[in-house]
Structure 1
């Protein structure tokens, strides 16, 4: 095998396919990236760990076609650090020579015949704008569980009903839901898929720069338990999580007693400052009154802090406490200049949504439900 490729092209391609390679693979070949040099002048790079697959095709000057398997992370590190000149790759016995200017590396070839066959992606289900998809996944995945106690809660539930797509995640302490429109292949499309949140988040970031992302929601029946994403020459699949997601939408309050609107950036800064004195796992208290919200942390002989931020109030005054990081996660996700917080009572979940103007309508396409924390009065 012998080919020449631009450094930036190879570095981007290897970094992308190698991003999910396991640090300690159960089988040594799973640490590799498969490189196929094709006669028509292109390289196809692939990686697969039995859960997530990634594949990308890039242009190259191919003198001798062939296939090799080399350590993916090592090749990614090398290609990123080479000078910005064309890279020549050739096979020499059981080694792969990588040459760029006066830099030369010799990598050990891994047995490509032992490499598993990449799964076939399900049939395309529809397309979605890259920027919309990336924002929606970021807004929702923050609420997914990061532990292993309940694996099903480490996923994002994606439901499709015609042109409407709903993303949902919860870790039992907060819940995030985003509704959006997309372009399904069939107007009566109906799918439910539970996708690992970490993988979905990485995929959205990697493909989000593309104008459009093709989504293949195969589901357990139609696609061998896989979901596929494709943008440009990048294609990836991931295995879906098994199990029935809990019916958590009943957490959304059916009525609202109090609503407050506050400038998002001001509340974020105030919560960050006040929470500096909050011990680990202790809440910040928010007291909403006419014209302002007062944020406090610390009690008794401990360090204490308080700050007031201007806000509007509709309904009776309310005092409530939240985990400061969970509150900041939600405020960071709304993506609007103002945030609206809706309450029933201090012991019930609060709903956070965004709005563009202080006296405008709430944008309920994204809702972040936050469980309050009990505090000593």
Structure 2
């Protein structure tokens, strides 16, 4: 194997592939990035039996072939190579030689024959706008759980029905729901899939800036034995599905109507919550008191440390004081992608819902963030 490739294209391809490689692989070859050259293209791939990544790059090939090297090491090297210079790579015996300008590296290779075969991409289910998909995933994935002992909560549920695509994630203390449209291959297509949140977030973040459309490929539905694939440009990712057969009916947490509503500037409230919570210990809630006079944000910490700050807010309903985890509140506000947050309440101890609104005050449909309040004494 011998080829020449542009430095930036190589560094970008290797970095994306290496990002998902396991830091402590069950077998050494799973820490490797597979470089395979054929028909004037370089295929860079990684696989850990759960997630596979592959990207194609145009190269000037002198000889086809394949080699397997440490993905993370190769990513660090290609990132540090001299800019705007082509990279010459050749497999020589049991080593890979990499030359860029006056920089030269020799890396040991691993047995190609020991590397597992990448899974086949499932059948295409439809396409979705790349930028819209990336934005929607970013809004939802942050609400997924991080407790690996509860794998179901670490996923993002994708609900596909006709031209509707819904993303849902919850860690039991909050719930994010984003609804967008997509183009199914079959107008009557319907399926649900529970995808690991981290994999989905990394994939969407990478494919979004490429523009165009993302192809969603799916096999199985709702079980851990299924697989989902995403293709955008020259990149593709496959991931096993989590078992979502017992996923809770989280939509029922949204009340049919609410008795109180507040409208608060997102940027101002975010700053106030961060400032006031400086006196609070980790996981200590902040209290939001809404009334006709506006909003007062308060927090208390150890050794009688206290903080409060008043700010403008438009409120309708009986006065109410509700307490939230400040991190969950700030993350929810950040996910709105809008200048105004609309809070809807029924009771201080029942879930509150935050939705985005534009400069004209109109609610922006499609995203809802439900957050569970924390019971506190005054």
Query: Which residue is 2:231 aligned to?
Result: 230
Following superposition, the deviation at residue 220 of structure 1 comes to 4.0
Give the TM-score of the pair, scaled to structure 1: 0.97
Supply the distance in 2 between the matched residues of 1:361 and 1:223 (Cα, whole angstroms).
Answer: 40
Supply the distance in 2 between the matched residues of 1:188 and 1:131 (Cα, whole angstroms).
Answer: 25
Which of 314, 320, 323 is the equivalent residue of 1:321? Answer: 323
Query: Which residue is 1:143 aligned to?
Result: 143
Task: Tell me, yes or no, if the aligned pair for 2:224 and 2:240 is still in contact at 8 Å.
Answer: no
Which of 301, 304, 325 is the equivalent residue of 1:302? Answer: 304
Q: SS of 1:104's equivalent?
A: strand
Structural RMSD (CA): 1.5
Q: 1:117 to 1:223 in 2, by over 3 A?
A: farther
Following superposition, the deviation at residue 300 of structure 1 comes to 8.6
Matched, 1:215 2:221: no
Q: 1:290 to 1:229 in 2, by over 3 A?
A: same
Which of 263, 267, 278 is the equivalent residue of 2:280? Answer: 278
Flag structure 2 segments of 5+ consecutive residues without an equivalent. Answer: none
Q: SS of 1:265's equivalent?
A: helix
Task: Tell me, yes or no, if the aligned pair for 1:122 and 1:223 is still in contact at 8 Å.
Answer: no
Q: SS of 2:169's equivalent?
A: strand
Q: SS of 2:29's equivalent?
A: helix
Q: 1:187 to 1:90 in 2, by over 3 A?
A: same
Query: Which residue is 1:201 aligned to?
Result: 201
Q: 1:315 to 1:221 in 2, by over 3 A?
A: closer
Query: Which residue is 1:54 aligned to?
Result: 53
Matched, 1:75 2:77: no
Following superposition, the deviation at residue 89 of structure 1 comes to 0.7
Structure 1 segment 120-269 matched on structure 2, within 5 A:
120-211=120-211, 212-220=213-221, 225-244=226-245, 245-269=247-271
Supply the distance in 1 between the matched residues of 2:54 and 2:17 (Cα, whole angstroms).
Answer: 6
Supply the distance in 2 between the matched residues of 1:5 and 1:208 (Cα, whole angstroms).
Answer: 24
Q: 1:346 to 1:69 in 2, by over 3 A?
A: same
Q: Deviations over 1:226-269 (max 9, x none)?
A: 10000110011000001421111111122211000011101101
Following superposition, the deviation at residue 329 of structure 1 comes to 0.7
Task: Tell me, yes or no, if the aligned pair for 2:224 and 2:244 is still in contact at 8 Å.
Answer: no
Task: Tell me, yes or no, if the aligned pair for 1:173 and 1:370 is still in contact at 8 Å.
Answer: yes
Supply the distance in 2 between the matched residues of 1:157 and 1:215 (Cα, whole angstroms).
Answer: 14
Task: Tell me, yes or no, if the aligned pair for 2:37 and 2:61 is still in contact at 8 Å.
Answer: yes
Q: Deviations over 1:159-212 (max 9, x none)?
A: 011000111011111011111111111111101000000110011111111221
Q: Which runs of 4+ in 1 moved over 2 A?
A: 217-224
The worse-fitting range, judged by mean Cα deviation, of 58-67 and 301-310 is 301-310
Following superposition, the deviation at residue 303 of structure 1 comes to 0.8
Following superposition, the deviation at residue 132 of structure 1 comes to 0.9
Give the TM-score of the pair, scaled to structure 2: 0.96
Task: Tell me, yes or no, if the aligned pair for 1:195 and 1:240 is still in contact at 8 Å.
Answer: yes
Q: SS of 1:63's equivalent?
A: strand
Q: 1:288 to 1:223 in 2, by over 3 A?
A: closer
Q: Deviations over 1:25-56 (max 9, x none)?
A: 00100011111111x21111111000000111
Following superposition, the deviation at residue 81 of structure 1 comes to 0.3
Supply the distance in 2 between the matched residues of 1:26 and 1:178 (Cα, whole angstroms).
Answer: 36
Supply the distance in 2 between the matched residues of 1:118 and 1:199 (Cα, whole angstroms).
Answer: 17
Following superposition, the deviation at residue 301 of structure 1 comes to 4.7
Task: Tell me, yes or no, if the aligned pair for 2:357 and 2:364 is still in contact at 8 Å.
Answer: yes
Task: Tell me, yes or no, if the aligned pair for 2:287 and 2:298 is still in contact at 8 Å.
Answer: yes
Supply the distance in 2 between the matched residues of 1:193 and 1:355 (Cα, whole angstroms).
Answer: 30
Pairs aligned (count): 375
Supply the distance in 1 between the matched residues of 2:54 and 2:257 (Cα, whole angstroms).
Answer: 48
Following superposition, the deviation at residue 291 of structure 1 comes to 4.0
